[in-house]
Structure 1
Amino acid sequence: MKKVYPLISLVLFLFLSSLAGCTQDKRNYGEIKPLRSKQVKMKDMFGINGFEWDFYDAHNNFDSAKFNIIRNFSGFRHFLDWERVEPQKEVFRFNHKPEGGWSYDEIYEKCMRDSITVLVDLQVTPNWLINTYPEGQRQRDLSPLPYGAKKDLPKSYIDIAKAGFQLAARYGRNKNIDKKLILVPKESASPVIGLGYVKYLESSNEPDKWWRGKDAEQSPEEYAAQLSAFYDGHKGSLGAGVGVKTADPTMMVVMGGIAKPNVEYVKRMVEWCKKNRGMKKDGKVDLCFDVINYHMYSNDYTGWFAKFRTKNRGVAPETNDMTEIANSFVNYAAELGNMPVWSTETGYDLGNKSSQRAIAIGSKSKEITQADWLLRLGLLYARQGLDRVFYYQLYDNNEPGADDGGTFGFSGLVDRSKRRPAADYIRQVTKLMGDYYYLNTINKDPIVDVYQLGKKRMFVLAVPDEVDRKEKYSLDLQQAKKALIYTLQPGKDAMSVKEVAIPNGILELEVSETPIFVEAKL
């Protein structure tokens, strides 16, 4: 009889092991702890890039219908061509309406009042500065300094630093500015300052633009010199009326989003600051930016900084190197005292020849795939701890049918006057759980993310693939008797919702590459 006990023990062990194997994809949500102290809100993953004319009709009247579309997004990154606010050197204008044009005051005020975070990206070198170059070297993407000036000296960038001061003086929160420093001739009798509409300014776009030649590309050290001037007039050494912080110390300076998402660029900028700006009293480097910013499009042409692939199209965000690259920036930001990290350009194109095109998958059109991938990209960045994301872009650059093979021709989330599925999804997710913040991830494939708001939790589930794969998952909702399952709907303002009973607290789900959302009903 004694010989039977080991056999019984073995059978019991195997039985318990089999039970464990059956339940390994469950997770008691009462045990889930926050992954990090930072609380990344879902809605902050859904900003958009665009232009001033996106707010106006053909007669330069503010277009409420267009604005209603923009209101689907939590942030607006404004591509502001420098010359539009400074058409002549040291002559500024911000309200073009009296002459029949756009009003930046109106745009930024409308956004501020509707809780849309505005990031003003001052980009494109103005003609009056371009014309200092020999004719054969003139182009719109020149680095913002006069011909012959040294690119590694802050004083060479005094012109864009003065423009930063004027923007911050007008749209920042400081009302105690010497009005003699305001360079808006049409308002000389009563200059407008301290409107409080804008909190973030970005100096240039993709300063590492190697594809435009040496007069457009800046090394990290050269761009840090520009930012030092733009930030605070290189610690005040460039005189009055120079630098964003000189006008409004509360204004946040966002570094220009780098096109090559390599954290070493930022590290070299920090080293430049350490050498040329020194240390603060608290022992930290006196940096000349408040937000780290990089661009990355999820395609397979990433050979210059990561692994090379050959599909010549966009790929699902989890199948690229976006996670590792995001981690590299977030981890370095932690070393700088948890500086915010943004990605101000990312997205997918719908052009048939684009190297970052979304593709049809199974029964899903390329528009639905674009929506799936963009939404999952926002979820990925929230998971990794980025603070804000802005998609490229609101409307297409190309007219319908004009597929010229360009990379960015049909990247719009809006098709003229109506939302594409990607914008539908963003609206629906924001409406359902915009203020929920990322808590943790309890499963990797399918991905199961947990978001929280007060005592409420939302589970977001998706398969991280691009082959129409589906997976079964058992979600442990503990004591819940019912659950609400929310499903995305192209062309709708809100998700569909289905209430299901779960007598044992375990919800059996089929998860696809389109995220689904689950809320326990206690």
Structure 2
Amino acid sequence: MAICVTSGKQLLFKMFLVLMCITQLCFAQTEQRLRFSGYTVSQNTGQNYAPWLSDSLDTLVAAAWTGNDVWVDVTLSLATPGKVTKISLYDYQGVFETQPALIYALKGTTKTLLATFTGPSYMVWGDHFYNIPIDADAVVVHKFGNNIPQKIFVYGYPDTSATPVTTPPPVVTPPAADPDSLVKIPITASRWYQLNNVNSGLDALTDGITDVDVNTGWGKLIANFDAVYPVADGEKITLSKVKFFSYHGGLDKPMTLAIINSQGKRINVGVFKGFSYNTWLGPYPDRATTGDAQFNLDSTINDIKFLVINSNGGYPTEMELYGSYKAPNAIPPMVQRPTKLKQFFGINAFEWNFENGAIDPTKIDSGQIRALKSFTQVRHYMDWEKLETDQGSYTYNPTRNGGWNYDAIYQFCKDNGIEVLADLKQLPGWMVDSYPDSLKDSESVPLKYGKDFADPASYIEQAKTAFQYVARYGSNLQVDSALLSVNGTQRWTGDQVNVIKKGMGLIKYIECDNERDKWWKGRKGFQTAYEYAANLSAFYDGNKNTMGPGVGVKNADPSIKVVMCGLSHADPGYVRGMVDWCKQHRGYHADGSVNLCWDVINYHLYSNDANNSQNGTPTRGMAPEVDPFTAKSAQCFVQMAHEVAGDMPVWVTEVGYDLNQGSPYKAIQIGNKIPLQTQADWILRSSLLYARNGVDRVFFYQMYDDNALNPIQFGSSGLINDNKTRRPAADYLYQTNKLLGEYSFKQTLNADPIVDQYDLNGNPAYVLVVPDEKGRTASYSLDLPGTDSAKVYTLKIGADSMDMQYARVINGKLQVAVTETPVFVIPVTGLMAVGRSFNAFPVNNEALTSPNTVSKNELNTLKLYPNPSVSYVSVSFSSADVSNNINVRILNEQSGKLYKAFTAVKSEKDYSTLVDLSGAAMGVYLIQLKQGNTVSTKRLIKIN
């Protein structure tokens, strides 16, 4: 018995040794990359995943939009099966918390979740570790649309005993177009647009979720309306089967699904009423058919150009369509066009911001000139009433209403390099008078009472005014003078009279009204996408020259660019609807492109914590990068323009923040930064964000406050003080334009901090900023190969120019301290000898003492750079004194011992010198500068 016990112990001991050896062998393995050998997909949506097989960050998975708003599994086979210990996911752009990508390890048929990827960051890697290695033959990415990591690196231990997995080439055959072989039709949710005021899209109708209602918002102005889904170029759909999911309840007014064919004929497909619980229903609710047969259409429907849903706001919780499907033509990649940064520094303004109505409205007010020159472009809010106080009677210099001199305003802008966007808006009094008293409103749709919103001819009065205005201020000298007229009568004896002029060459852009989707004005002030397109068709060219002579912008000057109104709700679907109206009513050009009736896409966006611009219920403004809606909207508009509008330029003509702390769009206090400084940061960062995301122009709202004491939105959003001095936001725009206005955005090098590279004729410049609103700082090592130094510029409140310091570049790198205020770096060569590396340099962000003033002693400033310093410090000083010499003393603060002293001649306002600190011990020093009676002292930290 004893022998048996001993033998058992020996056996256990031997087993323990074997397990130890196995464990040691496992831990002796070195973690390594487990590479992919190929991929397969569950459904072809036209997206190419080959870049996942490459390590290069220059090769990314291109976004696919048409037919890609579906869930797809992409299986990436491992060249050698192994045990996964870590995956690294490259987060490029976009946040998608509601539809994240799920990353699985696949072993045989067993899937193990590795990560849930929501895209929380920007151009950074995120690591996921596993204490217990996970067996895998492949990695599966379960993703919706473009919600993906751009790179997936897998790490672990290869299983050398396993047979390598052989993956066929990543070629997927699209679903067959054979009606007898039915496939589920993929629906790109972003392609739907609704001809009504809505807060959200129809994404939920085809998201695969059956127990959540589809809600597109409340307070709709049009009770019964259409939602339209255009079939893309090259895409072919036939329908043989339709399924609607009834989760609960029913619809008193049913929803109808229809199609429109190539002949423009509308054909009903099916009806949804509901009144069944938690079940799928077919297209014929009044029939008693059950089982799968209930979903079949009586006959297959072909030649589909549009899917159309007509409803009163009620929908099934899910809709599935089956038939044959051919994927659309591949969309070529976008080509980035160089857009000068100066195009992002515009302002919204009125004629009284140029001329003083109380003194002389016919001349430019000299007191306004400095403020006006803060901006590179002006969106002129131009009331129709000013041009045409009486119907058919046009005035410009002076205007019959207000006596303004538009000739002088536009000539001043041209002479000073300020581009003008003329926004013809609001109804004149004579048109308002056509409405009943209860409906009189100058912000109504621009037509006489009783006319059809959908008929281009209804807008002839506005189109005639646009013709007259453009004939005068455009560049066409050949326009027929017989078509032009002005009111040539005097208002009083000696009054200047209007005279006919043409081709003055002062205006290049005209905007057709403002926010024509203004739902808050009720139906009288709201146009659907189709109705506004009809309005634009008249405004653009007299509805293809069918409305008689002297009608439409292009008939006065074909070179003028027509800008669509800025949309209050940043919805690309509205523009898609406008494009479709043009397809149906204006046709196509000879080259196959749609005959559109505008040249520039335009929308408005105020970044806030509701993440929905003007349609939500915000409590405050938000930094543009922190509000995900800001960048996402820009990307979606630019992508939409690429897909359906020939890469038409996209502008954002209203952006801004209020200073009144009761406003829902307020700029907030951040640390020791008062709201005035936060507004400045966020305004400039908005310009940089839109440049980064492919927008072509930005205009801020607005030049002056409407009423700073009123907490109403937009009441305190001015960038100029009442005394005509610049606020910090205007300082920042002016200084940035002065430094980099001619540069164009090239690429983003880093996400947090954001590092953008700009270019001018092959010469780079860099803009660095922390994309946050917490007072956060960061350090970044900027690669500057082949350069021994750089100019580092920091924004300066109350000045015309940024502060500039030289910084040493060591081994091709410059260490930069970055804050939430942008800092600018321009490489230079040959100015500084090679020496020891500088530490990161700080940006001085001292708080203002008053929200409307800057220090009167702002010129008397001493700047040290970098601080802390290793071996050299740049000392700069500005003052108006150019007669007295400068005396500089450097003392150890603790001992009082003088380290260095010298005298320098100062013959200009700005003085800068480089001081050698290599012989100074580590510690805190006082840098004292004396000129005349002015003494400035600052602390410097010397480190080794």
Q: Same fold (TM over 0.5)?
A: yes
Structure 1 residue matching 2:524: 3-state secondary structure: coil
- In the superposition, relative to structure 1, how do residues 456 and 7 fare at CA in structure 2: closer, same or farther (>3 Å)? farther
Q: Distance in 1 between matches of 2:613 and 2:702?
A: 24
Deviation at 1:36, TM superposition (A): 4.4
Match of 1:389 among 698, 701, 726: 698
Match of 2:641 among 325, 329, 333: 333
Identify the residue that residue 239 of structure 1 maps to in structure 2: 548
1:32-431 equivalences under 5 Å are 36-57=335-356, 58-60=358-360, 61-96=363-398, 101-186=403-488, 191-303=500-612, 312-320=619-627, 321-335=629-643, 336-398=645-707, 403-416=709-722, 417-431=724-738
Structure 1 residue matching 2:485: 3-state secondary structure: coil
Q: What one-letter code is carried by the residue in structure 2 that aligns with 1:300?
A: D
Deviation at 1:301, TM superposition (A): 2.9
Q: Distance in 2 between matches of 1:420 and 1:185?
A: 40
Structure 1 residue matching 2:364: 3-state secondary structure: coil
Q: Distance in 2 between matches of 1:229 and 1:98?
A: 26
Give CA-to-partner distance per residue, 1:10-48, whole Å, 9 cap, x none. Answer: 6999xxxxxxxxxx99xxxxxxxxx94300111101100
Taking CA–CA contacts closer than 8 Å with sequence separation of 6 or more, which of the two structures ends up with the larger relative contact order?
Answer: 1
Q: What one-letter code is carried by the residue in structure 1 that aligns with 2:633?
A: I
Identify the residue that residue 16 of structure 1 maps to in structure 2: none
Structure 2 residue matching 1:165: 3-state secondary structure: helix
Q: Distance in 2 between matches of 1:281 and 1:180?
A: 32
Identify the residue that residue 435 of structure 1 maps to in structure 2: 742
Q: Distance in 1 between matches of 2:715 and 2:774?
A: 25
Q: What one-letter code is carried by the residue in structure 2 that aligns with 1:241?
A: G
Q: Distance in 2 between matches of 1:168 and 1:334?
A: 29
Structure 2 residue matching 1:122: 3-state secondary structure: strand
Kept in 1: contact 2:634–2:693 (CA 8 A): yes
- In the superposition, relative to structure 1, how do residues 100 and 209 fare at CA in structure 2: closer, same or farther (>3 Å)? closer
Give CA-to-partner distance per residue, 1:446-468, whole Å, 9 cap, x none. Answer: 00000010132111000100000
Match of 2:825 among 507, 518, 522: 518
Identify the residue that residue 815 of structure 2 maps to in structure 1: 508
1:449-460 equivalences under 5 Å are 449-460=756-767
Deviation at 1:100, TM superposition (A): 8.1
The structure that is helix-richer by fraction is 1
Structure 2 residue matching 1:450: 3-state secondary structure: strand
Structure 1 residue matching 2:523: 3-state secondary structure: coil
Indicate the structure (1 or 2) with the bigger Cα radius of gyration. 2
Q: Distance in 2 between matches of 1:12 and 1:208?
A: 56
Q: What one-letter code is carried by the residue in structure 1 that aligns with 2:713?
A: T
Q: Over aligned residues, Cα RMSD in angstroms? A: 2.6
Q: Distance in 1 between matches of 2:507 and 2:440?
A: 32
- In the superposition, relative to structure 1, how do residues 483 and 133 fare at CA in structure 2: closer, same or farther (>3 Å)? same
Structure 2 residue matching 1:39: 3-state secondary structure: coil
Which sections of structure 2, spanning at least 5 residues, go unmatched?
Answer: 1-25, 34-122, 125-333, 490-496, 830-944
Structure 2 residue matching 1:228: 3-state secondary structure: helix
Structure 2 residue matching 1:518: 3-state secondary structure: strand
Q: Distance in 2 between matches of 1:166 and 1:97?
A: 14
Kept in 2: contact 1:262–1:305 (CA 8 A): no
Deviation at 1:66, TM superposition (A): 0.7
Structure 2 residue matching 1:68: 3-state secondary structure: helix
Kept in 1: contact 2:605–2:613 (CA 8 A): no
Give CA-to-partner distance per residue, 1:275-295, whole Å, 9 cap, x none. Answer: 011111010110000000000
Give CA-to-partner distance per residue, 1:491-516, whole Å, 9 cap, x none. Answer: 11110011011232211111111000
TM-score, normalised by the number of residues in structure 2: 0.51
Kept in 1: contact 2:748–2:757 (CA 8 A): yes
Kept in 2: contact 1:42–1:382 (CA 8 A): yes
- In the superposition, relative to structure 1, how do residues 75 and 166 fare at CA in structure 2: closer, same or farther (>3 Å)? same
Identify the residue that residue 215 of structure 2 maps to in structure 1: none
Q: Distance in 1 between matches of 2:399 and 2:588?
A: 45
Structure 1 residue matching 2:538: 3-state secondary structure: helix
Deviation at 1:181, TM superposition (A): 1.1
Structure 2 residue matching 1:166: 3-state secondary structure: helix
Q: What one-letter code is carried by the residue in structure 1 that aligns with 2:721?
A: D
Q: Distance in 1 between matches of 2:473 and 2:639?
A: 32
Q: What one-letter code is carried by the residue in structure 2 that aligns with 1:226?
A: N
Structure 2 residue matching 1:215: 3-state secondary structure: helix
Q: Distance in 1 between matches of 2:349 and 2:673?
A: 27
Structure 2 residue matching 1:414: 3-state secondary structure: coil
Q: What one-letter code is carried by the residue in structure 2 that aligns with 1:174?
A: N
Which sections of structure 1, spanning at least 5 residues, go unmatched?
Answer: 1-5, 14-23, 26-34
Kept in 1: contact 2:605–2:614 (CA 8 A): no
Match of 2:778 among 444, 464, 471: 471
Q: What one-letter code is carried by the residue in structure 2 that aligns with 1:289?
A: W
Structure 2 residue matching 1:185: 3-state secondary structure: coil
Give CA-to-partner distance per residue, 1:266-321, whole Å, 9 cap, x none. Answer: 00000001101111101011000000000010112345899x7x760000001111
Q: What one-letter code is carried by the residue in structure 2 that aligns with 1:44?
A: Q
Deviation at 1:244, TM superposition (A): 0.3
Q: What one-letter code is carried by the residue in structure 1 that aligns with 2:703?
A: L
Give CA-to-partner distance per residue, 1:208-237, whole Å, 9 cap, x none. Answer: 000011101111111111100000000000
Aligned residues: 498
Structure 2 residue matching 1:497: 3-state secondary structure: strand
Identify the residue that residue 29 of structure 1 maps to in structure 2: none
Give CA-to-partner distance per residue, 1:367-388, whole Å, 9 cap, x none. Answer: 1100000111000000001100
Q: Distance in 2 between matches of 1:152 and 1:98?
A: 32
Identify the residue that residue 32 of structure 1 maps to in structure 2: none
Q: What one-letter code is carried by the residue in structure 1 that aligns with 2:762?
A: K
Identify the residue that residue 21 of structure 1 maps to in structure 2: none
Give CA-to-partner distance per residue, 1:168-214, whole Å, 9 cap, x none. Answer: 10001111122221121319996211101000000110000000111
Between stretches 313-322 and 328-337, larger displacement belongs to 328-337
Structure 2 residue matching 1:460: 3-state secondary structure: strand
Deviation at 1:435, TM superposition (A): 0.2
Q: Distance in 2 between matches of 1:144 and 1:98?
A: 20
Between stretches 63-72 and 264-273, larger displacement belongs to 63-72
Deviation at 1:64, TM superposition (A): 2.3
Q: What one-letter code is carried by the residue in structure 1 that aligns with 2:483?
A: L
Q: Distance in 1 between matches of 2:335 and 2:806?
A: 32
- In the superposition, relative to structure 1, how do residues 182 and 50 fare at CA in structure 2: closer, same or farther (>3 Å)? same
